[in-house]
Amino acid sequence: MAPPRPIDGTLLKQGAEAHVYKSTFLLPTVPCLIKVRPTKPYRHATLDMRLTKHRCVSEARLLNRCRSMGVLCPAVYFVDEKRGEIIMEWIEGPSVRDFLHSHLDGASDPDKEQNSIDVQLDSLMEAIGQTIGKLHDIDIIHGDLTTSNIMLKRRGNSGSMPEAQQTGPALAITEESFSDFDVVLIDFGLGQVSNSDEDKAVDLYVLERAFLSTHPRATRLFNIILDSYKRNCLGSAVVLRRLQEVRLRGRKKSMIG
Ligand SMILES: Nc1ncnc2c1ncn2[C@@H]1O[C@H](COP(=O)(O)OP(=O)(O)O)[C@@H](O)[C@H]1O
Ligand SMILES: [Mg+2]
């Protein structure tokens, strides 16, 4: 395994599987994200190297496959499999998680035109259902479909941005129409290529759990996602039937403890 290099960037997240930095790529005006899989000292060195390499290459391949098939995700700029590093396009925008919090929590604000926000939220959920439908139609299982791993990117954003914006607070979508945003999937670290209906159903189940735990009002929104998935994914009928079984298993499991 190549020794880790010092990363010139801001550490955003130090998870068990990956450290994630915001940095720039080639030009100071092009922001990027560097995802590094750190070595695990408790693992056998050769095994650790193989696993790190495998996961890094697998994630980069899935990202490339998605993009080439029209599912929006970050472009891969550079992969250093020996160091377990992926350098990718920086997605400027909030995660669906932050987005739902800011918009659903503000729901009681009488100054907001709630009806128009609701209609726009619905169309955003439609777009998420469509994206996941497309992903499953090309036989990619995301593996960790949470609301943090779905981002909203401002349309027409080439990736570079004015200096002042780079250090600004996390984006909240305020005045603009939600339809100015694209749904972008990130974090394919647990993803795989599979045509199994069971795998696809589990993907949806993970998202369902994430939605319901993100916000109490999100139940209605998740149903719009499923409805859109049903209309936009060729194999949806079988997957949605399977989802019922996965839910039952999940319930039994939580009853047993
Ligand atoms: N391409 C990207 N552009 C902007 N932010 C990103 C990007 N990829 C990841 N992030 C941010 O970093 C966080 C962690 O990255 P992620 O790939 O999800 O790793 P983990 O496996 O640790 O969840 C994400 O939740 C998101 O906030
Ligand atoms: Mg993640």
Of 170, 22, 35, whose CA–CA distance to 96 is shortest? 170
* Beta strand ranges found along the chain (DSSP E): 10-14, 19-24, 31-36, 76-80, 85-89, 140-141, 150-154, 181-185, 192-193
Residue-range domains of the chain with CATH: 10-89 (3.30.200.20), 96-256 (1.10.510.10)
Q: How far apart are CA 20 and CA 119, in angstroms?
A: 34
- CB-proximal residues (5 Å) to ion ligand 2: 149, 187
Q: Whose CA is nearest to atom 4 of ligand 1?
A: 91
* pLDDT tens digit sequence for 175-207: 566 778 899 999 999 999 999 999 999 999 999
* pLDDT tens digit sequence for 91-101: 999 999 998 88
What confidence score (pLDDT) does residue 119 get? 81
* pLDDT tens digit sequence for 7-43: 899 999 998 889 999 999 999 999 999 999 988 888 8
Q: Which of 23-37, 124-138, 159-173 is predicted with the least confidence, judged by mean pLDDT?
A: 159-173
Q: Count Cβ atoms within 10 A of the Cβ of residue 161 and give its class: 0-12 exposed, 13-18 middle, 19 or more buried.
A: middle
Q: Residue holding tokens 């570079």? A: 160
Q: Whose CA is nearest to atom 17 of ligand 1?
A: 187
Residue at 240: amino acid letter? L
Q: Are 132 and 96 in contact (CB under 8 A)?
A: no
Which of 10, 13, 79 most suits a substitution to test ligand 1, by most atoms within 8 Å of the C-beta? 13
Ligand closest to 16 (CA) is: 1
Ligand 1 in reach of 98 Cβ (< 6 A): no
Ligand 1 in reach of 95 Cβ (< 6 A): yes
Catalytic residue check, 144: yes
Q: If you ran DSSP here, which 8-state letter would residue 124 be given?
A: H
Q: Whose CA is nearest to atom 25 of ligand 1?
A: 148
Find the 14 Cα to ligand 2 centroid distance in Å.
11
SS3 for 114? helix
